[in-house]
Structures are given as structure tokens and as C-alpha cells.
Amino acid sequence: MNLTGMMLIGGQGVAGRRDMIRALDPSTDQPLEPGYAGADREQVEQACALAWEAFDAYRETAPETRARLLETIADEMEALGDGLIERAMVETSLPRARLHGERGRTCGQLRLFARTLRAGEWLDARVDPAMPQRQPLPRADLRQRQVALGPVAVFGAGNFPLAFSVAGGDTASALTAGCPVVVKAHPAHPGVSELTGRVIRQAVADCGLPGGVFSLLITDGHALGRQLVEHPAIAAVAFTGSRRGGEALMRAAALRPRPIPVYAEMGSLNPVLALPHALAARAEAMAAAWVDALTLNAGQFCTCPSLLLAVEGEDLERFRRAAANAAAAKPADTMLTPAIHDAYQSALHRLRRTPGVAERAFGQAGGGPYAAQAALFEVDAAGFAARPELAEEIFGPCALTVACRDQDELLSIVAGLDGQLTATLQMDDADLPLARELLPLLEARAGRVLANGFPNWVETSPAMVHGGPFPASSDSRATSVGLAAMDRFLRPVCYQNLPAALLPPQVADDNPLRLWRRVDSAWSQS
């Protein structure tokens, strides 16, 4: 693939003016060409100004136009073929099959939003007909549609170079909603970002849209990210990454003269509750499947199941033994960046020195400079409850098993958990009474509750929720995956007694877009 080392600002390839950013092949520690000179303040300003200029035209494009934009992006990402996958492989060290799957998911998500735009009922148009005879006051003719919030700043994630990056769920849902997007690429994969960005830039041009609809900034510093969040043209922020990063953006956005929403998905422990009957029936199989889920792609998932809770006893010991064996057999796996690897090593070091926490197993060593060993630790419930730092996410293939004295202690540990993206019940039918007690606690603390299986895979479908109470995400009312992701970038407008000639087509009398709409209170397509 021919990489230029340039950013994209409003449709133009532009060389940065700051320090050179160079991706690294984490499996060899070798820097990769080309270098990308970072954006300066003026370039951030320019991207935001162009997004603002493009906003009025873009938000009023027909749904069909935006649907074609999304499909063109998906088609052209596929047309990049193996070149895109191979660049992603060297920049992230993620395996080929995973990246193929990730591209499939990314393109599937773009096409899902395209279908959604055409179907239209997700836009929730409403019509309350006038009631001129109503007493004591007549009712006016009222109509409601959703309009785009404004330009969105997207911070690409490091761990999904395609699905949560330049053309990922945040960009796709913002473009669906009618919002121009300014992406701050993750500095660990500038090459993949450039390739994906060029696809979007070309699709924007092919669909006859203004270049400001999409810009891609490459920068390594926090200052320019903050400038982006504080820019008056930016109306919302989407971020996937660390809690510290997310909280910094939340505060910056809240302290603007005009505060804006931040949708930060900051990860979580994703507790797995191994209930007694399931544990008795299949401790070994459950342990093996759990260690697979835990170590998949070096544990670099927001949904990595890194906390296991169970009641102590022989079944739990069988489980731990099997998990230890499985973990010990896992080869070390290269992490995304040296910084992530360092943070993982430091976290392991801290855990090992934490009183009450016991090492149980380590995976195989070796495998290159930034390879992570799987690691299993154990603690009892009292020790877990006494040390809040044990409830902080460790990004990587490391897990903590918490042994509870009895079911009451299990319930109390769950009640003490912070917000989570997911919570998983490993359960059999005989566990139902306990599961019933746990469910209200779990749904108050997690965006998604699973029975059996593991949470790594996040389906892009109408019912998915990828978000959860703080600190899993900044806003538990939102999801960053699934159809409702676009709701983050929409706001309702009500039209009162507007003449027919002035009404937008979504709420016009003859329903020219053939949308499902709520007319009075009933669904109707007429």
C-alpha cells in the first residue's frame, strides 16, 4: 500500500508541522515508514472550521445520500484487500484472521446504518395532529423529528484499528446522524488510519459532499485532543480508551463555556459469576473457555472477562486448577504498543505485591519484546472488598478470582461493584434462584448481562448495549455499538403549526419518505 504520511483535512492530504510520529511493529520493535508529522493547533482549527462549514449542507442531505456514503466506505474498505489487513498486522501485531473479522464487522456496521437510514423508523418521527375543538384549549399541530447535533470529534481506539477507529462505530453513527466528523487517529496505527481515512475522503467526494464532512488528524499529544474537545464548532465527543483519558475529556467538555456531551467508553472488569451448580457440573470446561476468552488477542478487549466471582469450595478449586493449567499453556502474545505492555507489566508487579493476593498461574514467557504472559491471581472476598485498587481494570490477559465464603458474601461483593460494560452469569437451571437475586444487582451495574458464554464479542444489532454505568462509560444512557449508537448524535426538534410547504419531509403530511412514524400515539407508515 502506498502511504503518504499525510493527514486529511477537509478532503485534502496535508503534511503536519509538528514532531514526527512513527508507528512501531510491536513484534520486532522496528519503526515503520512513513513518518507522520503531527498536526499543529492551526490544523486542528482548520479541520474544525471546515466541519462546521460542512454541517449545514451535510445534515440536510437525503437519508439515501448518507446511506450511499456509508456503503461506499464499506465497499472501498473491502476493495483495499489484504493491503489494509497487512498494514494493520504490522502496526498492531493482531493476527490476520482477527483483523479480517474486524473489517467484516466494521463494514457490516456501516451497511447496517445504511439500511437504517433507508428504513427510517429509527429516526422516531412523530406527528401529533391538531385538535382545534379541544377544550379548554385547542391543541396545535405538533411534529417532531431528530436533527444532527453538530460536528463530532472521534478519538480512535488503539485496540480495534478498524472497528473502533477511523471508520468505526463512532464515525459510522455520527455520519448516519448527519454530523461531520473530525477523527483524532490513534498514534499507534497511523498507516491503517491513513488508508481508512483516504477511503472515507474519497467516498465523501464521490457522493458529492463537502470535504469538511471528514477530517483525519494525526497527533501524539494530549494538548491537541483537548483543543479539539474545547473547539466551539465541536458539538459532541466520542472516545474509546482508558479511564484517565476519558475522564480528562469529560472534564474538559463540562468546563467549556458551552458544555457538550462526551461519550467515553472506558472499559471495565466484566465480572463473571460462576454459580454453584454450573461450577459443580462443568468446572473444567468453564475454566478452559474462560481462559480462552481472557487471553484472546492478549486480553486487549474492553469486554475482557478479568474478574471471576464464585463461592469457595472444592468445585471452585477444580475450576482454578483447570484455569491454571489452561493459562500455563497459553503462549505469550504481543501487545499493541510498548506503553500498553509497560502498563501491563507494572500492574502485574503491583498485584504480586498486594497483601492477600496470591499468584496462581502464569502463561508461557518469550515471544518478543512486548509479549504479555497470561496471569491468574486469587484473593478472598474480604481482601477484594478491602482494596478498591483491585477493582481497577488491568488491560491485558490477567484475571483475578475472588472466592466468597457463601452466597451472601457473593451478593455483597456484586453490590459493591462499580459500573461495568458486561456481567456474565455462568449458570445451570438449578442456579436460577440465585441468578434471580443477582440479576437486579447486575442490571443496575452493567450495560449487558449474559448467561453463559463470554462477553468479548459485541454484536452490532438493534438490542446491543455497549456502554454501562460510570466508570464503564461516561453516559449509561448511550451505547457505542448497535443501532442506538446514532442516537448519541441526534436531538429532537418540534415543529408547531408550520405550513405544509415548510415541513421537512420526515414529518410532512404525505410522508414522502414512507417512514414508520408515531402519528398521535400509533405507529403508521401512511
State the catalytic residues: 265, 302
DSSP string of 486-519?
Answer: GGGGEEEEEEES--GGGS-GGG-TT-TT---EEE
Measure the CA–CA gap between 199 and 182, rounded to whole angstroms: 15
Least separation in angstroms between residue 523's CB and a copy of itself is 6
Measure the CA–CA gap between 345 and 350, rounded to whole angstroms: 9
501: left (phi > 0), else alpha (psi -120 to 50), else beta?
A: alpha
Measure the CA–CA gap between 311 and 277, rounded to whole angstroms: 11
Least separation in angstroms between residue 163's CB and a copy of itself is 14
Tracing cell 477493582 back to the chain, one arrives at 391
For a copy of itself, give the closer residue by CB, 20 or 463: 463
For a copy of itself, give the closer residue by CB, 251 or 405: 251
What are the beta bridge partners of residue 215?
182
For a copy of itself, give the closer residue by CB, 145 or 330: 145
Contacts of 173 (CB under 8 A, 6+ apart): 113, 480, 485, 486, 488, 489
Least separation in angstroms between residue 448's CB and a copy of itself is 4
Least separation in angstroms between residue 418's CB and a copy of itself is 8
User: What type of residue sits at position 92?
Assistant: T
Helix segments in 362-510, DSSP class H? 381-386, 407-415, 432-445
For a copy of itself, give the closer residue by CB, 180 or 447: 447
Least separation in angstroms between residue 463's CB and a copy of itself is 4
For a copy of itself, give the closer residue by CB, 25 or 247: 247
For a copy of itself, give the closer residue by CB, 322 or 446: 446
- Cβ atoms of 361 and 391 within 8 Å: the answer is no
CA distances from 119 to 306, 513, 517 (A): 39, 9, 11
Tracing cell 466551539 back to the chain, one arrives at 232
CB environment 256-268: b (16+ within 10 A), e (fewer)? eeeebbbbbbbbb
381: left (phi > 0), else alpha (psi -120 to 50), else beta?
A: alpha
What are the beta bridge partners of residue 25?
30
Using alpha carbons, select from 146, 219, 148 the residue that is nearest to residue 180. Answer: 148
Look up residue 219 and give its DSSP letter.
Answer: -
Contacts of 371 (CB under 8 A, 6+ apart): 298, 332, 333, 334, 335, 341, 365
Least separation in angstroms between residue 377's CB and a copy of itself is 26
Least separation in angstroms between residue 248's CB and a copy of itself is 13
For a copy of itself, give the closer residue by CB, 37 or 423: 423
